[in-house]
Amino acid sequence: MVTELGTKVDEKKDRVEVDNRPVRLPSGGVYLMLHKPAGYLVTAEDPRKRKTVMELLPRLPVRVFPVGRLDAETEGLLLFTNDGELAHRLTHPRYEIKKLYEVRIKGFVEDRELEKLEKGVFIDGRKTAPARARIIYRNREKSLLSLEIHEGRKHEVRKMLYALGFEVKKLRRVAFAGLTLKGLRRGFWRRLRPEEAEKLKKLTGLAD
């Protein structure tokens, strides 16, 4: 029985009851997914009044922030949360969280260039971690690649292709940490289902 004001409750260990009835404690965690369109900055606000991804989200009773970044012209899956520790782990290289991109490139990509991506290329004076790369289609004028990485360095995908002499014409993140854009139209958002949020926590060691 609690007799003092301000008593703290451990949600994992304590059972809370009022009049012998259990009380469900709010977890406080908010987890959203956005299908980001091109042309939006991934920031809370911009002093130059350019469009930001926050304009695409609903009004919420708590402040959420983006998990990692996509540059303005990159489309695709972007997560938002108010869970700082989860966000940190999802973006830290130590946890090797997989990110899958579709990359449209000007020119014909040879198999040997895919092998270079998979072994790692030098960008900003440092070699990238091995990636998984495959051709979706290619012809003389353009190629579409699927590229999976887990480092998340700034502009990493664009720089990797630039290091091989290719210009990226369009970039879209189609999956992140096992989540995909399936059923979510460009410019729209949805809340993660409880089991999806729980899977992210397990993936990063925050849950058993």
List the chain domain ranges.
31-93+178-203, 98-176
146: β partners: 102, 134
The CATH architecture annotation of domain 31-93+178-203 reads 2-Layer Sandwich (3.30)
Which class for 6: exposed (0-12), middle (13-18), buried (19 or more C-beta within 10 A)? exposed
User: What confidence score (pLDDT) does residue 15 get?
Assistant: 52
pLDDT of residue 58: 93
Nearest to 123 by CA among 167, 93, 163, 155: 163
Per CATH, the homologous superfamily of domain 98-176 is: Alpha-L RNA-binding motif (3.30.70.1560)
User: Quick one: pLDDT at residue 14?
Assistant: 52
28 CB neighbour count, 10 Å cutoff: 9
Q: How far, CA to CA in Å, does 146 sit from each of 104, 106, 131, 157, 178?
A: 9, 15, 10, 11, 15
Please report which confidence band the pLDDT of residue 205 belongs to, taking 50, 70 and 90 as the band edges: very high
Any catalytic annotation for residue 71?
yes
Total number of residues shown for the chain:
208
* Percentage of residues of the chain with pLDDT beyond 90: 82
* 63-112 pLDDT tens trace: 999 999 999 999 999 999 999 999 999 999 999 999 999 999 999 999 99
Q: What is the CA radius of gyration of the chain?
A: 21
Q: Distance between CA 151 and CA 37 in Å, rounded?
A: 23
Q: What's the token pair of residue 160? A: 């990797």
Q: Which pairing describes strands 167-176 and 99-106: parallel, antiparallel, or unpaired?
A: antiparallel
Q: So what's the pLDDT on residue 10? A: 44
Residue 117 CB neighbours (<10 A): 23
- C-alpha span between 66 and 54 (Å, rounded): 9
Domains 31-93+178-203 and 98-176 share a fold: yes
Catalytic residue among 14, 46, 71, 124: 71
pTM across the whole model: 0.84
